[in-house]
Amino acid sequence: MRVNDLVRFIKEREKIRVKKESGKKRPWTSDPILGKFRFCNVHREDDWVTRWLRANWYRHLGEDPDIWFAAIVARLFNNPETLYEIMPYVLPWKPEKVRAILHKRRDAGKKNFNAAYIVSTNGVAMDKVDYIVTRVLGPLWADRKKLRKYPEHVGEPLHKLYEALIKYDGLGSFIAAQVIADLKYLDRWQRAIPVDLYTFAAPGPGSRRGLNRVLGFPLELKLPDKGWWAHLNDLRAAVNKKMVDAPDLDAQDLQNCLCEFDKYERARLGEGTPKQIYKERTDATSNK
């Protein structure tokens, strides 16, 4: 197993964040790949959009029972500028107001979506804004009385909400898992103490390859989800034992780190080039 290689990658990535946020100038690392390309943070809560959402979006919307819906809106667009403009019309949901704002932004040459997440019309021939507002968010809002019940009981698993969300048009495994990652740190879910608070994660292509690399499996092996999840949490225990004087990684953080490790290894081995060169942000909530 390549646990030590993964841990070295995680620690070096975290050192970059700490150095940058302490005000140190570049270079923050001698690693040419980590120094050149954009890699997500070790802990998702340190990503700049997540920080913006915590400080603005969720703080504004508070304890609304339909905060889960606002989390879906947040991660579909994932762009603070967009979210700031539509915030007054999300809870309660006012689709025509939101649609008008989004079309106006688009017509002015402003971006509505963050390119970090792939959001499409899933083959439906219609405007993406209209598709998201009507085909994705419309049915979710219509079912709000059913969906707002999560979590109903102390200990209710996060996976239960995840399984409910992925049944809806336009909410694949990736976006649904991002929504769960936001919600589990809100007061309502923290009070409920879901049994899988630290162990829940959903696999993606990058994290599957990353796990295979670390465990020595064939690169394109597609483990059944339950097997993948079990291996992930066994690896989480092994990684956290080596993360001395550092916060433990939950399963979603490790899943993300595996995806980034796979990206790093593809660059190192000449199997591919990361899509994004690192460009320093200039806003107050920025982080690498």
Write out pLDDT tens, residues 251-280: 999 999 999 999 999 999 999 988 888 877
pLDDT above 50 for 288: no
Write out pLDDT tens, residues 47-103: 999 999 999 999 988 789 999 999 999 999 999 999 999 999 999 999 999 999 999
| 8 Å CB contact between 72 and 171 | yes
The structure tokens listed for 169 are 């048009």
For residue 246, CA distances in Å to 15, 217, 260, 280 come to 11, 28, 19, 25
pLDDT above 50 for 285: no
Write out pLDDT tens, residues 22-62: 999 999 999 999 999 999 999 999 999 999 999 999 998 87
Closest CA to 214 of 254, 271, 270, 267: 254
Please count the other Cβ atoms lying within 10 Å of the Cβ belonging to residue 205.
Answer: 12
* CA dist., res. 167 & res. 163, Å (int): 7
Write out pLDDT tens, residues 95-147: 999 999 999 999 999 999 998 888 999 889 999 999 999 999 999 999 999 99
Which amino acid, residue 89? Y
Please count the other Cβ atoms lying within 10 Å of the Cβ belonging to residue 139.
Answer: 14
Say what percent of the chain tops pLDDT 90. 84
Q: If you average pLDDT over residues 220-243, what whole number do you get?
A: 96
Would you report the helix, strand and coil content of the chain in percent, each value rounded to 5?
Answer: 60, 0, 40
User: b/e per residue, 94-106, with b = 16+ CB within 10 A?
Assistant: eeeebbebbeebe
* CA dist., res. 276 & res. 177, Å (int): 23
| 8 Å CB contact between 200 and 157 | yes
* CA dist., res. 128 & res. 114, Å (int): 13
Boundaries of every domain in the chain: 3-21+30-45+199-268, 47-192
Write out pLDDT tens, residues 173-214: 999 999 999 999 998 888 889 999 999 999 999 999 999 999
The chain-wide mean pLDDT, for the chain, equals: 93
More confident residue, 244 or 257: 257
Which amino acid, residue 16? I
| 8 Å CB contact between 37 and 29 | no
Say what percent of the chain tops pLDDT 70. 97
The structure tokens listed for 225 are 């989800």
* CA dist., res. 226 & res. 224, Å (int): 6
* CA dist., res. 133 & res. 143, Å (int): 15
Query: Is 18 exposed, middle or buried (CB count within 10 Å of its CB: 0-12, 13-18, 19+)?
Result: exposed
